[in-house]
Structure 1
């Protein structure tokens, strides 16, 4: 899973499926993003914000996939709120592993071990299996999609997903490099879906990020160099030469997101994968939502992006829909 895919591994989809969009929510505990990782310094107060978000999704005709981690699946309120949407067929659930809050607790809590793929394979598997089984028990449905917390894939992740019935991964954040902080380097990975294996049993859905600007076609080679120059990436973006834009309401203004949608479609991406973190549904939890006005802006971002995608004939889909279309592609 950590190897660049060959062109032959690119996924194709059933006629009429593309272009489509998938909304993923990293559904997790609230914690201090500026502090050290801890086992117990977190809360779930933002869960009260999920019903309004879910109602907006249903208004937009969008079925979000809640990528649930251990503190969430242990919450009776989360099981009630998310479970109701799952039972009504207006949402799906998947797995998101934050190893520092997920038993068994056999590792030291530190930055390196915050990436599940850096753990000993047997410990990564034990944590993942405990979480996956808890999710199936809580929501009465086997999860088929995974996202490693902090995008922390490892050399043993592929086998454990295949062994536990997970057929889709969405841990690759294309065009980003987390290796300076003990994570993975995805800077050269494609942002289009691809098969991880030749048997077509594991499908990768990278989070959608694109390069825009006059030098966009040189982004893979040029942007990593700009990041190593003080203010290099910012200057390139402000001058319209080169900008990296992710499809997320967290840090991406609506006009930029619309440009990213158009760029992705011009590149022929069949699936746009949007994402954000559930604690952003309550002011004060993340760097992106400090006030009620910020939260309202997040909702307006979603309305604006989906309105624009509708004009471009991008249809919201589901994890089940993606898998079915990929099987027929």
Structure 2
């Protein structure tokens, strides 16, 4: 168990977005937000145990009636606002300026903002940044690309728009089969490049064997290699990729990711999930009222465990210790 002198830190990053058909492609008109009250309740419940949330908000959410109500209620509560950071989450298929070439469905390639031409990616993120600043009364400094889709022009755009932290890296994962970025060579290490701090979403290669966990953490690309002997090795050591998330993972899974990564030297963790999962029937992870209750209880149970048993502390993303506070 961690000592107080080496207290681990947890940021809860909520992908705060519209509701859409996860199997129905990228429809520019699918912008409904009906879970604002449930999201506000989840944030308030986390605040009650001292937890802090970073709401990475996309354009559809921040311009919706329920999204604005949620933002306004947070801002109106002096205690609650101290526990919340408003950040940016770019879903390019619903974020103006919209392409006149794709009115019904955006091709998967362009669902990743980093695949857009530089001026289009900039214009979309600039529009979102201004909308968040207007609605939330604070300019975002934390960025999460939709579908983790950062590209070669993203760092320059982030710097130009005043961002300080990017949480778009999804360790160990290669999305190139669906036109996305390749993160297979990344583990959970944070790094600072050209004034932008890159803090990956926490993931881990879990295995009952410590040497296997250590090997894949230090050689992340080895996990995704498709050679036969690599596949056999992964099966023998029972290696699996787990994300620090209540979506698809149990409380025990989440605790193991945290403990295993702490043993490997990680001290700053990101717990993440999509905002529609706080209400039943909106994501594949929560399809009934009972599952919604279980989901929200699991988030609170993990946060309580992190604080009380793991002796950790809660932070907003922008309060990561590597970010100079006087620049935010």
Task: Map residues 220-239 of structure 1 onto 2, 5 A cutoff.
Answer: 220-225=220-225, 236=234
Task: Map residues 282-301 of structure 1 onto 2, 5 A cutoff.
Answer: 282-301=279-298
Contact 2:166 2:196 in 1 (8 A): yes
Gaps of 5+ in 1: 1-14
Moved over 6 A (4+): none
Q: CA shift at 1:253, angstroms?
A: 1.1
Matched residue, 1:78: 67
Cα distance in structure 2, aligned partners of 1:193 and 1:17:
17
Cα distance in structure 2, aligned partners of 1:105 and 1:221:
36
Q: TM-score, normalised by structure 2?
A: 0.87
Which residue of the other structure, out of 293, 303, 314, is the alignment partner of 1:316?
Answer: 314
Matched residue, 1:266: 263
Cα distance in structure 2, aligned partners of 1:19 and 1:101:
36
Matched residue, 1:91: 84
Cα distance in structure 2, aligned partners of 1:302 and 1:81:
19
The 10-residue stretch of structure 1 (115-124 or 98-107) with the greater mean CA deviation from structure 2: 98-107
Which residue of the other structure, out of 111, 118, 122, is the alignment partner of 2:108?
Answer: 111
Cα distance in structure 2, aligned partners of 1:241 and 1:72:
40
Cα distance in structure 2, aligned partners of 1:41 and 1:302:
27
Q: Deviations over 1:68-109 (max 9, x none)?
A: 111111123312212332453221100000000011112531
Cα distance in structure 2, aligned partners of 1:217 and 1:20:
21
Note if 1:204 corresponds to 2:202. Answer: no
Closer/same/farther in 2, CA of residues 151 and 40 from structure 1, 3 Å limit:
same
Closer/same/farther in 2, CA of residues 17 and 166 from structure 1, 3 Å limit:
farther
Cα distance in structure 1, aligned partners of 2:318 and 2:145:
19
Cα distance in structure 2, aligned partners of 1:90 and 1:39:
32
Matched residue, 1:127: 124
Matched residue, 1:11: none
Closer/same/farther in 2, CA of residues 20 and 246 from structure 1, 3 Å limit:
same
Q: CA shift at 1:37, angstroms?
A: 1.0
Cα distance in structure 1, aligned partners of 2:181 and 2:286:
27
Cα distance in structure 1, aligned partners of 2:190 and 2:64:
33
What SS class does the counterpart of residue 203 from structure 1 fall into?
A: strand
Q: Deviations over 1:226-248 (max 9, x none)?
A: 6x87xx69x957x7621211100
Q: CA shift at 1:270, angstroms?
A: 1.9
Closer/same/farther in 2, CA of residues 167 and 18 from structure 1, 3 Å limit:
farther
Q: TM-score, normalised by structure 1?
A: 0.87
Q: Deviations over 1:168-196 (max 9, x none)?
A: 11110111111110001111112122102
Closer/same/farther in 2, CA of residues 298 and 96 from structure 1, 3 Å limit:
same
Matched residue, 1:141: 138
Cα distance in structure 2, aligned partners of 1:140 and 1:193:
29
